[in-house]
Chains A and B, each alone.
Chain A
Protein backbone atom coordinates (compact mmCIF):
# COMPACT_ATOMS: atom_id res chain seq x y z
CA UNK A 1 0.00 0.00 0.00
CA UNK A 2 0.86 3.66 -0.22
CA UNK A 3 3.32 4.91 2.37
CA UNK A 4 2.94 8.21 4.16
CA UNK A 5 5.98 8.57 6.36
CA UNK A 6 5.57 10.70 9.42
CA UNK A 7 8.35 12.05 11.56
CA UNK A 8 9.20 12.08 14.27
CA UNK A 9 7.58 8.86 15.44
CA UNK A 10 7.30 10.25 18.97
CA UNK A 11 8.03 13.48 20.81
CA UNK A 12 8.41 14.36 24.46
CA UNK A 13 8.27 18.10 25.07
CA UNK A 14 7.81 20.56 27.91
CA UNK A 15 4.58 22.46 28.21
CA UNK A 16 4.86 25.75 26.36
CA UNK A 17 7.26 24.51 23.71
CA UNK A 18 6.45 24.56 20.03
CA UNK A 19 6.07 21.31 18.11
CA UNK A 20 6.71 20.48 14.49
CA UNK A 21 5.96 17.24 12.68
CA UNK A 22 5.83 16.33 9.04
CA UNK A 23 4.58 13.83 6.57
CA UNK A 24 6.20 12.80 3.29
CA UNK A 25 5.39 10.52 0.43
CA UNK A 26 6.83 9.51 -2.90
CA UNK A 27 3.43 10.17 -4.51
CA UNK A 28 1.60 13.37 -5.30
CA UNK A 29 -1.46 13.93 -3.15
CA UNK A 30 -4.48 16.05 -3.95
CA UNK A 31 -5.49 16.70 -0.35
CA UNK A 32 -3.74 16.61 2.99
CA UNK A 33 -5.57 16.32 6.28
CA UNK A 34 -4.27 16.31 9.83
CA UNK A 35 -6.04 14.36 12.56
CA UNK A 36 -5.52 13.89 16.30
CA UNK A 37 -6.45 10.64 17.98
CA UNK A 38 -6.84 10.16 21.71
CA UNK A 39 -6.60 6.63 23.14
CA UNK A 40 -9.70 4.56 22.43
CA UNK A 41 -11.32 7.23 20.30
CA UNK A 42 -11.72 8.02 16.64
CA UNK A 43 -9.50 10.51 14.81
CA UNK A 44 -10.62 14.12 15.07
CA UNK A 45 -10.00 16.41 12.13
CA UNK A 46 -7.67 19.32 12.88
CA UNK A 47 -6.85 20.93 9.55
CA UNK A 48 -7.64 20.25 5.89
CA UNK A 49 -5.43 21.43 3.01
CA UNK A 50 -6.50 21.44 -0.63
CA UNK A 51 -3.95 23.40 -2.64
CA UNK A 52 -0.20 23.11 -3.05
CA UNK A 53 1.49 25.79 -0.97
CA UNK A 54 -1.62 26.39 1.13
CA UNK A 55 -0.91 27.45 4.70
CA UNK A 56 -3.80 27.12 7.13
CA UNK A 57 -4.15 27.86 10.82
CA UNK A 58 -6.58 26.60 13.42
CA UNK A 59 -5.86 28.28 16.74
CA UNK A 60 -2.39 27.23 17.84
CA UNK A 61 -2.12 24.79 14.95
CA UNK A 62 -0.65 25.63 11.56
CA UNK A 63 -0.29 23.25 8.64
CA UNK A 64 1.05 23.58 5.13
CA UNK A 65 0.52 21.64 1.93
CA UNK A 66 3.96 21.28 0.35
CA UNK A 67 4.67 22.85 -3.02
CA UNK A 68 5.64 19.49 -4.48
CA UNK A 69 2.35 18.01 -3.16
CA UNK A 70 4.37 15.20 -1.66
CA UNK A 71 4.62 16.53 1.85
CA UNK A 72 2.92 18.48 4.60
CA UNK A 73 3.86 19.75 8.03
CA UNK A 74 1.93 20.52 11.19
CA UNK A 75 3.11 22.96 13.82
CA UNK A 76 1.67 23.38 17.29
CA UNK A 77 2.66 26.50 19.15
CA UNK A 78 2.83 26.88 22.93
CA UNK A 79 1.90 23.28 23.67
CA UNK A 80 -0.43 22.44 26.54
CA UNK A 81 -1.08 19.11 28.31
CA UNK A 82 -4.27 18.43 26.34
CA UNK A 83 -2.23 18.36 23.13
CA UNK A 84 -1.14 14.88 24.16
CA UNK A 85 -2.18 12.26 21.63
CA UNK A 86 -1.28 10.70 18.32
CA UNK A 87 -1.27 12.96 15.28
CA UNK A 88 -1.91 11.44 11.89
CA UNK A 89 -1.53 12.98 8.50
CA UNK A 90 -3.81 11.68 5.80
CA UNK A 91 -3.80 12.20 2.08
CA UNK A 92 -6.14 11.68 -0.80
CA UNK A 93 -4.63 10.30 -3.95
CA UNK A 94 -6.29 9.91 -7.29
CA UNK A 95 -5.81 6.44 -8.75
CA UNK A 96 -7.39 5.73 -12.10
CA UNK A 97 -11.01 6.81 -11.94
CA UNK A 98 -11.19 6.79 -8.18
CA UNK A 99 -9.72 8.23 -5.04
CA UNK A 100 -7.75 6.40 -2.40
CA UNK A 101 -7.28 7.68 1.09
CA UNK A 102 -4.16 6.93 3.14
CA UNK A 103 -3.11 7.62 6.69
CA UNK A 104 0.40 8.25 7.90
CA UNK A 105 2.19 6.21 10.52
CA UNK A 106 1.46 8.71 13.30
CA UNK A 107 3.42 10.94 15.66
CA UNK A 108 2.88 10.33 19.35
CA UNK A 109 3.10 13.56 21.35
CA UNK A 110 3.70 13.70 25.09
CA UNK A 111 3.60 17.07 26.82
CA UNK A 112 5.28 17.26 30.19
CA UNK A 113 3.66 19.84 32.50
Chain B
Protein backbone atom coordinates (compact mmCIF):
# COMPACT_ATOMS: atom_id res chain seq x y z
CA UNK B 1 0.00 0.00 0.00
CA UNK B 2 1.44 3.39 -0.96
CA UNK B 3 2.46 5.59 1.92
CA UNK B 4 3.96 8.97 2.70
CA UNK B 5 7.58 8.77 3.81
CA UNK B 6 9.60 11.33 5.72
CA UNK B 7 13.28 11.79 6.43
CA UNK B 8 15.00 12.07 8.77
CA UNK B 9 12.99 10.49 11.55
CA UNK B 10 14.79 12.65 14.10
CA UNK B 11 16.77 15.84 13.57
CA UNK B 12 18.70 17.64 16.27
CA UNK B 13 19.89 21.14 15.49
CA UNK B 14 21.22 24.17 17.27
CA UNK B 15 19.18 27.33 17.62
CA UNK B 16 19.69 29.62 14.65
CA UNK B 17 20.57 26.84 12.24
CA UNK B 18 18.63 26.06 9.10
CA UNK B 19 16.90 22.71 8.75
CA UNK B 20 15.25 21.00 5.82
CA UNK B 21 12.70 18.29 6.44
CA UNK B 22 11.95 15.98 3.56
CA UNK B 23 8.84 14.16 2.48
CA UNK B 24 7.91 11.89 -0.37
CA UNK B 25 4.13 12.07 -0.84
CA UNK B 26 2.05 9.28 -2.35
CA UNK B 27 2.89 9.26 -6.04
CA UNK B 28 -0.49 10.08 -7.60
CA UNK B 29 -1.40 12.71 -5.02
CA UNK B 30 -1.53 16.34 -6.05
CA UNK B 31 -1.97 18.18 -2.76
CA UNK B 32 0.68 18.31 -0.08
CA UNK B 33 0.68 19.57 3.48
CA UNK B 34 2.88 20.17 6.47
CA UNK B 35 1.67 20.01 10.04
CA UNK B 36 3.41 20.22 13.34
CA UNK B 37 2.64 18.73 16.73
CA UNK B 38 4.32 20.05 19.84
CA UNK B 39 4.78 17.26 22.37
CA UNK B 40 1.51 16.39 24.06
CA UNK B 41 -0.51 18.88 22.06
CA UNK B 42 -2.81 18.76 19.06
CA UNK B 43 -1.76 18.67 15.45
CA UNK B 44 -1.52 22.13 13.88
CA UNK B 45 -1.81 22.96 10.21
CA UNK B 46 1.13 24.83 8.71
CA UNK B 47 0.74 24.96 4.95
CA UNK B 48 -0.86 23.37 1.92
CA UNK B 49 0.72 23.20 -1.51
CA UNK B 50 -0.77 22.54 -4.91
CA UNK B 51 0.38 23.07 -8.46
CA UNK B 52 3.81 24.22 -7.30
CA UNK B 53 2.57 26.97 -5.08
CA UNK B 54 1.29 27.54 -1.58
CA UNK B 55 -2.49 27.40 -1.55
CA UNK B 56 -3.04 28.04 2.13
CA UNK B 57 -0.94 28.77 5.18
CA UNK B 58 -1.61 29.31 8.85
CA UNK B 59 -0.40 32.10 11.10
CA UNK B 60 2.31 29.75 12.35
CA UNK B 61 3.86 29.62 8.87
CA UNK B 62 5.81 32.87 9.00
CA UNK B 63 8.78 34.08 6.98
CA UNK B 64 11.07 31.59 8.69
CA UNK B 65 9.29 28.76 6.91
CA UNK B 66 9.30 27.84 3.27
CA UNK B 67 8.23 24.85 1.22
CA UNK B 68 9.42 23.51 -2.06
CA UNK B 69 8.84 20.66 -4.46
CA UNK B 70 12.32 20.51 -5.96
CA UNK B 71 11.59 17.53 -8.19
CA UNK B 72 8.74 15.23 -9.08
CA UNK B 73 8.77 13.30 -5.85
CA UNK B 74 10.11 15.30 -2.90
CA UNK B 75 8.31 17.95 -0.87
CA UNK B 76 10.42 19.86 1.62
CA UNK B 77 9.89 22.16 4.57
CA UNK B 78 12.71 24.56 5.39
CA UNK B 79 13.07 26.45 8.62
CA UNK B 80 15.60 29.21 8.07
CA UNK B 81 16.72 30.04 11.59
CA UNK B 82 15.39 27.59 14.11
CA UNK B 83 14.14 28.64 17.52
CA UNK B 84 13.71 26.54 20.63
CA UNK B 85 9.94 26.67 20.19
CA UNK B 86 10.25 25.03 16.77
CA UNK B 87 10.92 21.74 18.55
CA UNK B 88 8.04 19.47 17.58
CA UNK B 89 7.00 16.56 15.39
CA UNK B 90 6.54 17.68 11.82
CA UNK B 91 4.15 15.67 9.72
CA UNK B 92 3.85 15.72 5.98
CA UNK B 93 0.57 14.67 4.40
CA UNK B 94 -0.79 14.32 0.91
CA UNK B 95 -4.17 13.92 -0.71
CA UNK B 96 -5.30 12.87 -4.14
CA UNK B 97 -7.86 15.61 -4.34
CA UNK B 98 -8.20 18.89 -2.47
CA UNK B 99 -7.83 19.53 1.26
CA UNK B 100 -11.44 18.57 1.85
CA UNK B 101 -10.57 15.00 1.07
CA UNK B 102 -8.65 12.26 2.82
CA UNK B 103 -5.18 13.31 3.79
CA UNK B 104 -2.63 10.60 4.44
CA UNK B 105 0.08 11.35 6.94
CA UNK B 106 3.72 10.35 7.05
CA UNK B 107 5.37 9.02 10.20
CA UNK B 108 6.79 12.42 11.09
CA UNK B 109 10.17 14.00 11.76
CA UNK B 110 10.98 14.82 15.34
CA UNK B 111 12.84 18.15 15.37
CA UNK B 112 14.78 19.01 18.49
CA UNK B 113 16.27 22.49 18.69
CA UNK B 114 18.89 22.93 21.40
Contact = CB atoms under 8 A, between A and B. Distances in A.
Nearest to A103: B43
A41 B108 contact: yes
A99 B54 CA distance: 12
B100 A30 contact: yes
B106 A101 contact: no
Contacts of A90: 43
Given A43-B43, A102-B45, A50 B100 contact: yes
A98 B58 CA distance: 11
Interface centre among A35, A92, A105 (most CB of B within 10 A): A92
Contacts, number: 62
Given A42-B105, A101-B48, A106 B42 contact: yes
Contacts of B55: 98-99
Contacts of B107: 41-42
Contact of A99 (B35, B93, B100): B100
Interface in A29-68: 30-31, 33, 35, 37, 40-45, 48, 50
B68 interface: no
A33 B99 contact: no
Interface of A: 1, 30-31, 33, 35, 37, 40-45, 48, 50, 88, 90, 92, 98-106
